[in-house]
A and B are shown apart, each in its own frame.
Chain A
Amino acid sequence: MHLHKYEKIWLTFGLGSLALFLVIIGFAAFWKGTHPMSHIETIDPQNVEAHDSFKPENLGLREVAEGKYTVNIVASAFNYDFGTDADGKPVKKIRVPKGSTVLFQITTKDVVHGFQVAGTNVNMMVEPGHVSRLETVMKNVGEFTVVCNEYCGIGHHQMFATVEVYE
């Protein structure tokens, strides 16, 4: 088969890119353990309190080890439940030191919500019946807004909170 010289160059480039990206996908999936945020684990959306992580007293930020934190959240239309503070007020802001490893665990009682800590790599879909988990290292100092990025209804824009990473 006759191929033009340019076609040969282009095909080499195209197949090379394909091979490169396949290797990257394999590296991410099998070496770095990248996978969908909602795991095989399921939860009863009508009764999320039955799950240890989503009992009202376990919601919000918790330090589980030196520099390691867990944040448990229950999303619902139209709120992120981070638990309550000492005065019984709902928590809308969590603070973690720079460089800490934070595991976000979130589920929803009703419809599909999003959970994005804008400006960080924390971005996941929250589906009823599933537990979404994402562990990340908070590398950069700043105040990051948590937003719902899946349209969930009339109060969609009212779903927000803040994550502050301090020095």
Chain B
Amino acid sequence: MATDNPKKRPVQQSGNPHTGINLKGTFISVMLLGVFILVTWFGLYALFLSR
């Protein structure tokens, strides 16, 4: 029994941990970072092709 409890507890707690938290800002910033990485990569690739 004692070994079962630690396994069950996180599942119960993570039932829906994000409800009530506004993650819009997190989402936007993480997507901006992703777009920045893609834009720099393709920018450098264009530089490589033009030289």
Q: Which residues of A contact B (CB under 8 A)?
A: 2, 4, 6, 9-10, 13-14, 17, 21, 119-121, 139-140
Contacts and interface: CB of A to CB of B under 8 A. Distances in A.
Given A2-B16, A9-B31, A17-B34, 18 more contacts: A2-B14, A2-B15, A4-B18, A6-B26, A6-B27, A9-B27, A10-B27, A10-B30, A10-B31, A13-B31, A13-B34, A14-B34, A17-B38, A120-B51, A121-B48, A139-B51, A140-B50, A140-B51
A149 to B, nearest CB: 16
Given A13-B34, A17-B38, A4 B23 contact: yes
Nearest to A10: B30
Contacts, number: 30
20 contacts: A2-B15, A4-B18, A4-B23, A6-B23, A6-B24, A6-B26, A6-B27, A10-B30, A10-B34, A13-B31, A13-B34, A14-B34, A17-B34, A17-B37, A17-B38, A21-B41, A121-B51, A139-B50, A140-B50, A140-B51
A115 to B, nearest CB: 16
Interface of B: 14-16, 18, 23-24, 26-27, 30-31, 34, 37-38, 41, 48, 50-51
A132 to B, nearest CB: 19
A13 B32 CA distance: 12
Contacts of B24: 6
Contacts of B23: 4, 6
Nearest to B30: A10
Given A6-B27, A9-B27, A119 B51 contact: yes
Nearest to B19: A4
Q: Which 4 A-B pairs have the closest CB atoms?
A: A6-B27, A4-B18, A121-B51, A6-B23
